[in-house]
Chains A and B, each alone.
Chain A
Amino acid sequence: MANTINLTLKVWRQKSSDSPGAFEIYQAHDIDTDLSFLEMLDVVNINLEKNGKEPIAFDHDCREGICGCCGAMINGQAHGPEHGTTLCQLHVRKFRDGDTLVIEPWRSRAFPVVRDLIVDRSAFDRIIQAGGYVTVRTGSAPEAHSLPVPKIDADEAFDSAACIGCGACVAACPNASAVLFVGAKISHLALLPQGRVERERRARAMVERMDLEGFGNCSNHYECEAACPKEISVRNIARLNREFFRAFVKG
């Protein structure tokens, strides 16, 4: 039969971006350890709702670890204690009966809280809009095989492109820096011949936007890599640094 445990949740509640927030404590009783973390919150929410209270708001969509919607700090760890995992893929069995979990939203000046555990990550979209694309019009593409790409490059580009844009890197970084996110996109496109044409412009524009959004600076703590659910390497940051320098030198 299913195992169940009891948890104490200390959850950040905040009505909107301009109202103050505070922690509230909830008991999660008899939680089936096979539930995912978000399903555990669902159970807590149903109880809240039945007692006339507003449920805890949290972002979620695919619940498969690919859309990058979900995420929160669990006892100071982005997406909880398990490595290479999003919150929706974290399971209650990773906790022990009686544990107290402090659940907080991502904290960064660039990610204002929208409500409870939901933050506004539109800064990421604006960074991509600044240059995270190849300028190619629909219909103008050449035959796909006209440009061979070495398998190693394609595989490495994929490793970088695996970023789901969840924001855990920013949340975990002691400086709330976004360089892993930006580095992953820059690397993805710099590794492919299709992306190289615009590399200088892209690096300059994306970094400028990143700075404008109010993210911190990287001081090579590598907490981002440890928190990344897709285990994206900090080598992407090194590549970003080089791409940016190259763009600077080329003027």
Chain B
Amino acid sequence: MSSESRCALRSSILRKQIVAVTGLILTGFLAGHLAGNFLIFLGPEAFNGYSEKLHAIPELLWLVRLGLIAAFLIHVITTILLTLENRQARGERYAVNGSKSEESLKFAKKTMIYTGLLVLFFLVLHLSDFTLSDKEGPASMIAAGEGNPPRNLGLYGLVWNSFLEPWRAGVYIAVMLVLGLHLSHGIQSLCQTLGFYRNDLVPGIRKLSLVLGLLAAIGFSSVPLFINIVRTPPL
């Protein structure tokens, strides 16, 4: 690597662009994840089948996983570093903090680092709950319909059972709202950082970002909501 590009790697803008690109990757992952989640509505075969297909080639799966982990770590670490730098850049604080911006989503912008960190903590829980836990054990047993003996429904059962616990569903939905907030600013922010400046596109991108954030929140929340409304899986 030439010394010039090493220097560029330390540059504020390039690091922001790294955050943007990793953000884009993670957004793509979320979109895929959400699509997978929706298979729950089609029943255990569809959902578990999808999960099995993902596991069919473990090497590939791990490659993707490593990629995602890397993107995630880079996204988080770079952001934390940038945030710390930004704190220093102010120097002495203002006695009064005001704003002249009339935008409605100021809250989302101001809390990006916190919403991000919240999602990070949740992720740890989420992985240990689902990805890393036993998918064939008692937690996967569900009695489908009156009088039927409980069946092992694999990952489907695991998800179903855990969301039936109201606090889990509650926490999950709350975090998904936070994630939606993060995305509602994040998506348009990454477009800006990657240099979309066309006058005719920018207002559209900002709206799209909001809509996508909202859709993500609703989409992810729909699964626990659905489970808590139906309570027994429609088999």
A/B: CB atoms within 8 Å of each other: yes
Asked if A238 and B12 make an inter-chain contact with CB atoms under 8 angstroms apart, the answer reads no
Chain A 50-78 near chain B by CB (<8 Å), digits 1 or 0: 00000000000000000000000101111
Q: Mark A95-107, 1 if CB is under 8 A from B, else 0.
A: 0000000101001
A211 CA / B15 CA spacing, docked (Å)? 12
Q: State which of B7, B17, B96 has its C-beta within 8 Å of the C-beta of A245.
A: B17
| Inter-subunit contact B16/A77 (CB<8 Å) | no
- Would A220 and B185 be within 8 Å (CB), given that A238-B196, A241-B16 are in contact? yes
Q: Mark A190-222, 1 if CB is under 8 A from B, else 0.
A: 000000000000001001101100111111111
| A239-B197, A241-B17, A251-B4 as given contacts; A216 in contact with B89, CB under 8 Å | yes
- The answer, yes or no, to whether B128 is at the interface (CB within 8 Å) is no
Known: A174-B110, A207-B12, A241-B17. A222 touches B101 (CB 8 A): yes
> Interface SS of chain A: helix, strand, loop or mixed?
mixed
Contacts of B88 in A (CB 8 A): 109, 214, 216
Q: Is the CB of A208 within 8 A of B85?
A: no
Q: How many residues of B contact A (CB 8 A)?
A: 48
Given A102-B95, A176-B91, A216-B90, are A248 and B85 also a contact pair (CB < 8 Å)?
no
Report the nearest B residue to A247, measured CB to CB.
B8
Contact residues, A153-183 vs B (CB, 8 A): 172, 174-177, 179
B82 at the interface (CB under 8 A from A): yes
Chain A interface size, as a band, is 35 or more
Selected from B2, B7, B95, B195, the residue in CB contact (under 8 A) with A241 is B195
B163-191: CB near A (< 8 Å → 1, else 0) gives 00000000000000000000001001101
For residue A228, which residue of chain B has the nearest CB?
B100
With both beta carbons as reference points, the residue of chain B lying nearest to A171 in the complex is identified as B94
Q: Is A108 an interface residue (CB 8 A)?
A: yes
Closest B residue to A175 by beta carbon equals B86
- Whether the pair B193, A176 counts as a contact (CB closer than 8 A) is no
**Residue B131 interfacial (CB < 8 Å):** no
- Chain B residues with CB under 8 Å of A245's CB are 13-14, 17, 194-195
Q: Closest CB of chain B to A75's CB: distance in Å?
A: 5
By a CB distance below 8 angstroms, the chain B residues around A239 are 195, 197
Report Cα–Cα, A83/B101, bound state, in Å: 9
Q: Are B89 and A109 in contact (CB under 8 A)?
A: yes
Indicate if B222 sits at the interface (CB-CB under 8 A). Answer: no
CA–CA, A172 to B97, complex, Å? 9
A172 to B85 Cα, complex, angstroms:
17
Residues from chain A with a CB closer than 8 A to the CB of B191 are 238
Is A242's CB within 8 Å of the partner chain B?
yes
B residues whose Cβ falls under 8 Å from a Cβ of A = 2, 4-5, 7-8, 10-17, 82, 85-86, 88-103, 106, 109-110, 112, 185, 188-189, 191-197, 199, 202
New A-B pairs, 5, CB < 8 Å, besides A219-B86, A248-B5: A83-B100, A177-B86, A214-B89, A226-B100, A245-B14
A-B CB contact pairs (8 Å), 27 listed: A12-B95, A23-B95, A75-B98, A76-B97, A102-B95, A104-B94, A108-B90, A109-B89, A175-B86, A175-B90, A176-B86, A176-B89, A177-B89, A207-B12, A211-B10, A215-B89, A217-B86, A218-B12, A219-B86, A219-B109, A219-B189, A223-B99, A238-B202, A239-B197, A244-B13, A248-B5, A251-B5
Binding site for B on A (CB under 8 A): 10, 12, 23, 73, 75-78, 81, 83, 102, 104, 107-110, 112, 172, 174-177, 179, 204, 207-208, 210-211, 214-223, 225-227, 234-245, 248, 251
